Amino acid sequence: DQQVKQNSPSLSVQEGRISILNCDYTNSMFDYFLWYKKYPAEGPTFLISISSIKDKNEDGRFTVFLNKSAKHLSLHIVPSQPGDSAVYFCAASAINQGAQKLVFGQGTRLTINP
Amino acid sequence: GAGVSQSPSNKVTEKGKDVELRCDPISGHTALYWYRQSLGQGLEFLIYFQGNSAPDKSGLPSDRFSAERTGGSVSTLTIQRTQQEDSAVYLCASSQDLLGIYGYTFGSGTRLTVV
């Protein structure tokens, strides 16, 4: 049962344009969402997060949007840079229910073309 | 230490052999997690520790998998009688307390190949 889904295995974007990565979830108990970025041969690194009490969180070039009714979140990167090329994982947790683990999506490989 | 350290970084083993993977969390981090990533898959939860106890072992795939943590620090994940489907990158993560708003800090992983 895939509770967190990233339906696009890969995405290719021109440098300077906007990258939009999508994530859907099925568990309505999830109340905290995170995005991680992973380079080859490295562990995932935390990028940005959002609580279910918000619908948007921004940090520099990165913005995460949450649509609770649609159980959908997206990560926007603008402008995209070559160093953004990596695999991006969406993750969710039911923190307010005492959950202590993150449930991850399958990842989307983002390639930024010069 | 400065980050989460995992060893070995790569391990090739023959089917049927036992392997032990080690994780050194960030000093002072009380929570420790094991995940694995199989080829083309997302991160699959295996087990987490709060201190030395493991309240949630629900992700361990079979009784061939076990993990322990000693002194609230180093953890080892042991896979007995390895099978080819055990081939994956095994990732360890730690957090300062139970899951916080910044999630976890991950190590670089151990790539296990069972031949």
pLDDT, residue A53, reads 93
Q: What six digits make up the tokens of B76?
A: 């080892």
CATH class for the domain made up of B5-94 = mainly beta
* CA atoms B62, B63, B65, B69: torsion sign: positive
Which domains does chain A possess?
4-113 (2.60.40.10)
Is the model's pLDDT at B34 over the cut of 80?
yes
Q: Which residue has the tokens 């795939």?
A: B61
Of B31, B1, B18, B8, the C-alpha closest to B108 is: B8
Is the model's pLDDT at B99 over the cut of 70?
no
pLDDT, residue B112, reads 97
Q: With an 8 Å Cβ cutoff, is B41 touching chain A?
A: yes
Q: CB–CB of B102 and A46 under 8 A? A: yes
In whole angstroms, give the CA distance from residue A66 to residue A36.
Answer: 16
Q: With an 8 Å Cβ cutoff, is B25 touching chain A?
A: no
Is residue B90 within 8 A of residue B36, CB to CB? The reply is: yes
φ, ψ for residue A47, nearest 5 deg? -115, -60
Q: Which residues of A50-67 are buried (b: 16+ CB within 10 A; e: fewer)?
A: bebeeeeeeeeebbbbbe
Is the model's pLDDT at B101 over the cut of 70?
no
A25-65 confidence digits (pLDDT tens): 999 999 999 999 999 989 999 999 999 999 999 999 999 99
**Closest chain A residue by Cα to residue B103:** A46
Of A47, A71, A73, A41, the C-alpha closest to A59 is: A47
**Closest chain A residue by Cα to residue B33:** A101
* Residue B84 identity: Q
Of B4, B35, B56, nearest to A100 by CB-CB distance is B56
Q: How do the residues of chain A divide into helix, strand and coil, expressed in percent and rounded to 5?
A: 5, 55, 40
In whole angstroms, give the CA distance from residue B27 to residue B50.
Answer: 14
**Cβ neighbours for A84, distance < 8 A, ≥ 6 positions apart:** A19, A77, A110, A112
Coil, strand or helix at B50? strand
**Cβ neighbours for A52, distance < 8 A, ≥ 6 positions apart:** A30, A31, A32, A33, A66, A68
**Closest chain A residue by Cα to residue B9:** A41
Who wins on pLDDT, B80 or A41?
A: B80
